Amino acid sequence: MKNTRYVLFGLSVLCVCMIGITTLNSGLLNPLRDAVGYVLVPIQSGINRAGSGIYNEVRNLGTMKKAQKENEALKARVDELTEENTRLRSEQQELERLRELYELDSQYMQYNKVGARIIAKDTGSWFSVFRIDKGSDDGIMENMNVIAGGGLVGIVTDVGANYATVRSIIDDSSRVSAMAQQSGDTCMVSGDLKLFNEGRLKLGYMEKDDDIKDGDMIVTSNISEKFLPGLLIGYATDITVDYNDNLTKSGYVIPAARFDRLQEVLVITDLKNAGPEFNEQ
């Protein structure tokens, strides 16, 4: 009994020391993390594959009828969209011509991407962190941006040999420097556990005169340190002038990516500091 107590205190002190050391230098842990990853990731991806297989099968049976009805509606929609697509394509060509005219770099949407599957989530509901089945062996590096469903999902915070950890933008500690696509006025999108239960993110750091209105597209800003410019985050809503100082505005963002249904994501392998032009290495 005495012995256990000594061990307990010894371990506690050790833990506190390790928390201190690894907070300052998390690189020390990489070999250990890799080792755990080699054991855990195959198990996790196996369970995930089996689990989602069963789940999808069950869901498929349930939604077959709905799907048939939806199919008809979608066929009509396809015709509509094909027509729209041809129109847009011609407009796109015109845009490209004009861009060349203005010698503008069409730097957006040319990023290199790698697809990855989400294999595990955090153990509770406090943090919105998940793990994907690609790691440094597949060229994933820290601070790479992750997107899905046309919108920004998060950023890689930690990489092992065969896995990577992604912190989503809905995590309570996430802050993304953003701007309104139309006006270019900068703002800050931050995650908030409380707001996310309502399906929203917080939008702040706007001046009163900034031209950001409800429904505006909010994208990652040019001046962000880690996020590539021009990635869609979501749409602004409920923007109001702050009551207490009357100088700033704040509001909410409805994210473009559907966080409750994420299964596959795309990791953009271009890093912000390298820039899209220097991706040959």
Partner 1 sequence: MNSSLKQISLNLILIILAFSIQTCVFPLIPFLSAYPNLMLILIFSFGFIRGSASGMTYGLVAGLLMDLSSGGALGFYTLFFIWMGYVNGIGTKYYYEDYITLPLALSAANELAYNLYLYVFGFLLRGRLSFGYYLINNILPETIFTVVTTLAVYRVFLFISRKMEEIGKRRDTTIV
| Contacting positions for partner 1 (CB under 8 A) | 1, 4, 7-8, 11-12, 14-19, 21-23, 26, 29, 32-33, 36-37, 39-40, 43-44, 47-48, 51-52, 55, 119-127, 129, 131, 157-158, 165, 172-173, 193-194, 197, 260
Which C-beta is closer to partner 1: that of 46 or that of 215? 46
Which C-beta is closer to partner 1: that of 191 or that of 276? 191
Which C-beta is closer to partner 1: that of 138 or that of 172? 172
Minimum distance of partner 1 from residue 13's CB (angstroms): 10
Residues 246 and 213: beta-carbon distance below 8 Å: no
Minimum distance of partner 1 from residue 20's CB (angstroms): 8
Which C-beta is closer to partner 1: that of 4 or that of 68? 4
Minimum distance of partner 1 from residue 121's CB (angstroms): 4
Minimum distance of partner 1 from residue 215's CB (angstroms): 28
Minimum distance of partner 1 from residue 175's CB (angstroms): 11
Minimum distance of partner 1 from residue 238's CB (angstroms): 19
Which C-beta is closer to partner 1: that of 44 or that of 181? 44
Neighbours of 226 (CB within 10 A): 16
Which C-beta is closer to partner 1: that of 33 or that of 249? 33
